[in-house]
Amino acid sequence: MKVLLAHTPEMRRNYYGNRSLNGLRAAAEVVLHESDETLVSASLVRAAKDVDIIVADRMTEGRGEIFAQLPRLRAFVRCAVDIRNVDIEAASNAGVLVTRAGPGFVQAVAELAVGFMVDLSRGVSRATADYHAGRRPEARMGRQLAGSKIGIIGYGSIGRYLADIAKVMRMEVLVADPFATVSDSAIRQVGLDELLAASDYVVCLAIANEQTENLIGEAALARMQKHAVFVNLSRGNLVDEAALAKALLEYRIAGAAMDVGRAPDQMPNPELAKYPNVIATPHVGGLTPQAIEYQSLETVRQVEAIVKGEAPQGAVNAERWTRRP
């Protein structure tokens, strides 16, 4: 069986790795995408015309028109959790299996959240920038995490892990998630409005979908305290960036940190990232060797199962998979 690894060389270096590539080659014949341009529609069809399986990075879209044009294709394997840019219905109509990777980045993203909170509270990035520029930094009063309130929006895998870290750090933990049940008596589950009004640190980890589009907008930001900070480690479309920009410029909140945004590939908005009360990173929350290998090795296991004609763990439309080997 033949597999197209659709990652560009840079994405392959950062998000796949030699161990996983060797595992993939042991399971099937592998075709590598060697261009620096992301494969889209027509170019993806050309690259995948003779393959049975596409292993795609998060940037490679599975648009609806490609599946009918690839009669040999049996499966579209996503090396990421997010499959919003894959047309599941079109794939299912064509009998193509779609899979997704599990969240192997839980610890990495939660650790970055802690780093963001410390930086925003103690001015680490600000002081470092001053030193690098030859300026004398101002010694400003900070805030310690212990004794502060953290409000976690979304109580999934990352939210639960971050809550456990926050408890160890002696923070008071509030959680807002209408679809989760919090059984830990040390964590207080509240509505979103109460969380926003009470928290010193608001960390957004909610799932991105139509219901959560612009969840954090002008009204939500107005409920936050002036000394509070907002951290987004979920997806850019949960935040109304114009409203956030206004709140930051008017110092109605103290600051923000973001690893995601509405720029291409879910990167932070460069204009917003320039603000003096903002710290930003280029979508690196899950970019650690452990997190990346977890997901890439999962795609190897999925390909191994598909080659055998089995629907692997992570399949999202197994009941409509008709192009089995």
What is the span of the domain harbouring residue 8?
A: 2-104+288-320
Cβ-in-10-Å burial (0-12, 13-18, 19+) of 34 comes to exposed
Cβ-in-10-Å burial (0-12, 13-18, 19+) of 180 comes to middle
Helix axes 124-132, 106-122, angle to 10 degrees: 70
192 with 81, same domain: the answer is no
pLDDT digits (tens, 9 = 90+) for 183-201: 999 999 999 999 999 999 9
Cβ-in-10-Å burial (0-12, 13-18, 19+) of 177 comes to buried
Token pair belonging to 142: 């900070």
215 with 301, same domain: the answer is no
Phi, psi of 230 (to 5 degrees): -115, 135
How far apart CA 201 and CA 148 sit, in angstroms, is 8
7 with 36, same domain: the answer is yes
303 with 171, same domain: the answer is no
Write the CATH number for 40: 3.40.50.720
How far apart CA 50 and CA 53 sit, in angstroms, is 9
Side-chain half-sphere exposure of 286, counting CA atoms within 13 A: 25
Q: Measured between alpha carbons, how far apart are the two ends of the chain, in Å?
A: 9
pLDDT (0 to 100) of residue 210: 87
86 with 149, same domain: the answer is no
Q: Does residue 325 lie in a domain region?
A: no
CB 192 within 8 Å of CB 153: yes
How far apart CA 114 and CA 76 sit, in angstroms, is 35
> In Å, what is the CA distance from 45 to each residue of 15, 156, 205, 299?
22, 36, 35, 21
Give pTM, 2 decimals: 0.87
pLDDT (0 to 100) of residue 7: 97
pLDDT digits (tens, 9 = 90+) for 155-174: 999 999 999 999 999 999 99
247 with 110, same domain: the answer is yes
Which bin fits 170, alpha (ψ -120 to 50), beta or left (φ > 0)?
Answer: left
pLDDT digits (tens, 9 = 90+) for 66-97: 999 999 999 999 999 989 899 999 999 999 99
216 with 71, same domain: the answer is no
153 with 256, same domain: the answer is yes
Side-chain half-sphere exposure of 180, counting CA atoms within 13 A: 23
How far apart CA 133 and CA 61 sit, in angstroms, is 41
pLDDT (0 to 100) of residue 20: 96
86 with 203, same domain: the answer is no
298 with 271, same domain: the answer is no
247 with 233, same domain: the answer is yes
112 with 26, same domain: the answer is no
> In Å, what is the CA distance from 325 to each residue of 98, 215, 276, 292?
15, 43, 56, 28
pLDDT (0 to 100) of residue 179: 93
Q: pLDDT in tens for each of the 325 residues of the chain?
A: 999 999 999 999 989 989 999 999 999 999 999 999 999 999 999 999 999 999 999 999 999 999 999 999 999 999 999 898 999 999 999 999 999 999 899 999 999 999 999 999 999 999 999 999 999 999 999 999 999 999 999 999 999 999 999 999 999 999 999 999 999 999 999 999 999 999 999 999 999 888 999 999 999 999 999 999 999 999 999 999 999 999 999 999 999 999 999 998 899 999 999 999 999 999 999 999 999 999 999 999 999 999 999 999 999 999 999 999 9
Q: How many folded domains does the chain comprise?
A: 2
Q: Which stretches of the chain are DSSP H helices?
A: 9-15, 18-27, 42-48, 64-68, 88-93, 106-122, 124-132, 157-168, 192-198, 218-223, 241-249, 270-273, 289-307
Helix count (H) and strand count (E) of the chain?
A: 13, 12
